Amino acid sequence: MSNPLSTTVLVIGGGPAGYVAAVRAGQLGLDTTLVEAERLGGTCLLKGCIPSKALIHAAGQFAAMMRAAAGPHIGIHLAVPPTLDLAETMAWKDGIVDRLSSGVAGLLKGANVRVLAGRAEMLDGKTCRVATASGVQEVAATHVILATGSQPVSLPHLPFGGPVMSSTEALALTSLPRRLLVVGAGYIGLELGTAFRQLGSEVSVVEAASEILPLYDRSLTGPVRRWMEREGIALWTQSRATGLCPAGDGVAVTIERTDGSASRREEIVVDKVLVTVGRRPRTEGWGLENLALEMNGPFVRVDDQCRTSMRHVWAIGDLVGEPMLAHKGSAQGEMVAEIIAGHRRRFQPVAIPAVCFTQPEIVSVGLSPDEAKQQQIPVTVSQFPFSANGRALSMEAGEDHGFVRIVARADDHVILGVQAVGAHVAELSAAFVQALEMGALLEDISGMIHAHPTLSEAFPEATRKGIGMALHA
């Protein structure tokens, strides 16, 4: 073992929560050390958000060319259908990941953060043992920030391995599965299922709940479900995949369906099974058992400053609970670094945006109409369709039943929530968040001049409907 290393701030985990905490701590002049067992960037950059969005983009490009090859489309003709080399697509995706991971390393270096490549084990609230390629390094810290992230949930009857994949393996495929079964119709399953369908796979989806994307209301998920039906994606809701066995050149998966009081079983033969039934915090393998931390179910309990039950031990990101989103973890990491440096901060966001990159995309910020009703808040709800938006129509995105919806308090018109479904609506999320964080009224947004022609015009149009001043609907 090498000589013990002392540091003011020790960050365990180099994902969006951990590396942002380390960079900010370094920028503030704190002696900072970050430990990461794999590459820098975490699940989001290496195995999730970034690679999946790259694959979704490539799939959309391929599908558009296939459409033009099937017949003239908006004046575009392709004499022969395009061909797909999935290995080349994945190599392109990996290049993006490599570039961003190297960028994270550069940010840490620029902030004078010491990076230890190895597996961390917390011995107590101040001491960590790191198994590196060159030996064991012990680290003593004044402050410890736990940012260990999360991992995919497996199913006992469908363990990962062989034909059964998590999203990690799906994003590393080099040949296209002819038949793909997606178990779980949450955002991860439907994003990847959508992409593989556009690339040419036959896709089936099994979901235990009665609806796809159970966290969203049916108004938002309706356009996605219609797209799935139009593209031939088979969907079983209120169903479970309960086992598999070899079947010719694939595997036969047993699906148990429950419709009211009736249950029945059937089999579907596929080449690959993608299990996306959720993620769980990574609480094993780094010494949590050696820390006297209070837990909140499977998560580490923290307060509104991300303090744990141990003095000077902090926890951020997926480790501390929902929403398990990269941007939440990054915000918490930045905050904790500033608190350690003596700043006065609390984690009190008005809203954390959630985006689903399906076809079409879904954005949700703040309260939905149902959530407002549950909280007994009288609200006015108004929405504007993209079918009346020039920019949407000019890029063939006006006929997918998309819209922007505003939820505002009935008495003073303060905006409490904004939801949208449609092509490229993810890019509107910043405007929605800003409106809520600034306490905007319907009148504030309706009075702003938005550029024409843009999708963003649907935002003030929806607010105008809420105050009885609609211009284009």
So which residues are the catalytic ones?
452
- The SS3 call for residue 40 is coil
- Angstrom distance (rounded) from CA 202 to CA 232: 8
- The SS3 call for residue 32 is strand
Element (H, E) at 331: helix 326-340
- The SS3 call for residue 470 is coil
How far are the Cα atoms of 174, 270, 308, 316, 344 from residue 305, in angstroms, in the given order? 43, 47, 9, 10, 10
Structure tokens at 325: 């989103």
Contact in structure between 64 and 12 (CB atoms under 8 Å): no
How far are the Cα atoms of 58, 161, 311, 366, 395 from residue 345, in angstroms, in the given order? 41, 44, 17, 22, 43
- Angstrom distance (rounded) from CA 39 to CA 455: 37
Element (H, E) at 254: strand 250-259
- Angstrom distance (rounded) from CA 51 to CA 63: 18
Closest CA to 147 of 32, 51, 53: 32
How far are the Cα atoms of 18, 108, 153, 215, 349 from residue 372, in angstroms, in the given order? 34, 42, 31, 15, 18
* HEC secondary structure over 408-426: EECCCCEEEEEEEEECCHH
- The SS3 call for residue 131 is strand
